[in-house]
Amino acid sequence: MIVLVAPGQGSQTPGFLTPWLDDPSSRDLLQHLSEASGVDLVAHGTTSDADTIRDTAVAQPLIVAAGLLTARALFERVSRDSIGGVAGHSVGELTAAALAGVVSEADAVSLVTVRAKAMAAAAAATPTGMSAVLGGDEAEVLARLAELDLSPANFNVGGQIVAAGAVDALATLAEEPPTKARVMPLQTAGAFHTRYMASAVEPLRAAAAAVEVSDPTTRLWTNHDGSEVTSGRAFLDLLVEQVASPVQWSATMDSFLGAGITGIIELAPAGALVGLAKRGLKGVPAVAIKTPDDLQAAVDLLQGATA
């Protein structure tokens, strides 16, 4: 079983969609998603600079649109039925929701635009940030975060927790890290997936209530606890709550293993989740689709799984 995964914020780089737009159908799709989101995704995916696409209000719609564009290109080469399931990391859950048939592509980018603006507003209210804590004993790391009133925002893989909260507390964490751990500041606008994002939940909940929702047509896992979700509305509810609660990607990968995963394909802007898979899904073949040149490797993996 091959699982398709969609990355979260931070994977985007300037111009990363340029090679995709040589294909007229991909350009048409991106223009359609630009209209649905109210964000010029063509410009941001091709000519905008790093600071512009780091802006939460731009980055999140851009990442979801990129995942949908990549998947569309893949499904022009292989059947959707060759995919055993889908999941997304953080904002990538909206990409996964569209790919699983829970919401339409247009509604996915419309919802992510609401999510991005609300999270950007929440981040602007209080100076906060995020840092990756690499290594160390998990219990000791969590205890140290609690001492500093920091929150574990992402459980990405064993030995990697993302801490979030007040900027001064993150600085103290970097100066006095847990035993055998190192702290790496992340370029984020605020403490995502923590209580600091509480004000972003209700705007997204209201927007989610207004869209048409279907139950997933392919297997779908949630970041809430890594479990498989069979109700489209339940998945959307969890996605809304997850704005202010931790991303449990390590648990999601554990569920992949329990389901008998035989391969993983990461949609553009790819790389981060394949990197985590090397540690959390050891021995499982993985393909990162960064450019159209990577599509054939993904096709080969899928065809090898179904041969």
222 in the same domain as 174: no
Note whether 107 and 117 are same-domain residues.
Answer: yes
Same domain for 96 and 65? yes
66 plus 20 within the same structural domain:
yes
Q: What is the CATH number of the domain that holds 169?
A: 3.30.70.250
Last residue of a domain, one of 157, 185, 213: 185
In the prediction, which pLDDT does 186 show? 87
Q: Which range marks the domain in which residue 140 is found?
A: 125-185
Which of the residues 44, 89, 193, 224 is marked catalytic?
193
Q: Which of 135, 168, 185 is the last residue of a domain?
A: 185
> Using an 8 Å Cβ cutoff, are 88 and 103 in contact?
no
Residue 27: helix, strand or coil by DSSP? helix
Which pLDDT belongs to residue 304? 84
Provide DSSP, 63-115.
Answer: HHHHHHHHHHHHHTTS-GGG--EEEESTTHHHHHHHHTTSS-HHHHHHHHHHH
Q: What integer pLDDT is reported at residue 150 of this predicted model?
A: 97
Q: Is 193 designated active site?
A: yes
Q: Are 62 and 44 in contact (CB under 8 A)?
A: yes
Give yes or no for a contact between 249 and 156, defined as CB atoms under 8 angstroms apart.
Answer: yes
266 - beta bridge partners? 5, 288
* Same-domain pairing of 27 and 103: yes
The encoded tokens of residue 142 equal: 């969590």
Catalytic hit among 26, 90, 131, 245: 90
DSSP labels, 113-134: HHHHHHHHHHHHHS-EEEEEEE
Q: Which residues of the chain have pLDDT under 70?
A: 305-307
Same-domain check for residues 64 and 207? yes
Give pLDDT tens digits for 128-184: 999 999 999 999 999 999 999 999 999 998 778 999 999 999 999 999 999 999 999
| Domain end position, chosen among 159, 185, 211 | 185
Number of domains in the chain: 2
Alpha helices in 163-197 (DSSP H): 167-175
Sheet with 263-266, side-by-side order of all strands: 219-220, 85-88, 2-6, 263-266, 286-288
Strand ranges across the sheet with 128-135: 151-157, 160-166, 128-135, 181-185
Are 152 and 278 members of one domain?
no
Q: Are 33 and 171 in the same domain?
A: no
Q: How big is the CA angle at 233 (ends 230 and 235), to the nearest 5 degrees?
A: 60
What pLDDT does residue 305 have? Answer: 64
11 and 157 together in one domain: no
Whether residues 129 and 118 fall in one domain = no
The string of DSSP letters for 140-171 reads HHHHHHHHTT-EEEEEEETTEEEEEEEHHHHH
pLDDT of amino acid 289? 97
CATH code of the domain containing 8: 3.40.366.10
Q: Do 34 and 117 lie in a common domain?
A: yes
154 shares a domain with 273: no
